[in-house]
C-alpha cells in the first residue's frame, strides 16, 4: 500500500528526470527547514530555480495547479530565502520559481510561475 509521501517521492523523481532532459542541473531535492519545504532546487543558465511539484492521479480532486495558492507561494518564498541565506548565496542572484504539474502521466513545466512573496 502506497502512502502519500511514497507517492509524492515517486512523482518528484519523475519531475527530476524530466527537468534534467530540459537542461536543468539538479542541486538538491526535498530541502526542508522550519519555514517549509522546496521539492527541487536547480540551476539553469544563470538562474537559481526553486521548483514546486504538484501531482494528481486524475482531476477528480481538482487540477494540480489549484493546490498552489498565495499561502503556499509565501511559504516557498520564505524557504527559498532561508536556503540562500544558509548557503551564502547573494540575494542579487537571479532566481526563478518554476512549477512542474503532473496529471496522470502528463507533465507540464511552468517556468517563472510566480514571483517571490517575502512579506
115 within a domain of the structure (yes/no): no
Range of the domain at 30: 4-63+70-110
* Nearest Cα to Cα of residue 114 among 59, 56, 67: 67
Distance of alpha carbon 89 from alpha carbon 81, whole angstroms: 9
Residue 3: CB partners within 8 Å, gap ≥ 6? none
88 within a domain of the structure (yes/no): yes
CATH number for 26: 3.40.1350.10
CA distances from 44 to 38, 68, 81, 82 (A): 17, 23, 18, 20
11 within a domain of the structure (yes/no): yes
Total number of domains constituting the chain? 1
Burial of 15 (0-12, 13-18, 19+ CB in 10 A): buried
Q: What is the DSSP letter of 36?
A: E
| pLDDT by residue, tens only, the chain of 119 residues | 455 666 667 878 999 999 999 999 999 999 999 989 999 999 999 999 999 998 866 555 555 556 677 888 899 999 999 999 999 999 899 999 999 988 878 899 999 988 887 64
Q: pTM for the complete prediction?
A: 0.88
Amino acid at each position: 500500500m502506497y502512502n502519500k509521501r511514497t507517492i509524492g517521492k515517486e512523482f518528484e523523481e519523475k519531475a527530476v528526470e524530466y527537468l534534467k532532459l530540459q537542461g536543468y542541473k539538479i542541486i538538491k531535492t526535498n530541502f526542508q527547514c522550519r519555514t517549509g519545504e522546496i521539492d527541487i532546487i536547480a540551476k539553469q543558465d544563470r538562474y537559481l530555480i526553486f521548483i514546486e511539484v504538484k501531482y494528481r492521479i486524475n482531476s477528480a480532486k481538482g487540477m494540480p495547479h489549484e493546490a498552489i495558492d498565495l499561502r503556499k507561494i509565501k511559504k516557498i518564498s520564505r524557504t527559498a530565502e532561508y536556503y540562500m541565506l544558509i548557503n551564502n548565496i547573494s540575494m542579487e542572484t537571479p532566481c526563478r520559481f518554476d512549477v512542474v504539474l503532473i496529471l496522470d502521466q502528463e507533465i507540464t513545466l511552468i517556468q517563472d510561475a510566480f514571483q517571490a512573496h517575502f512579506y
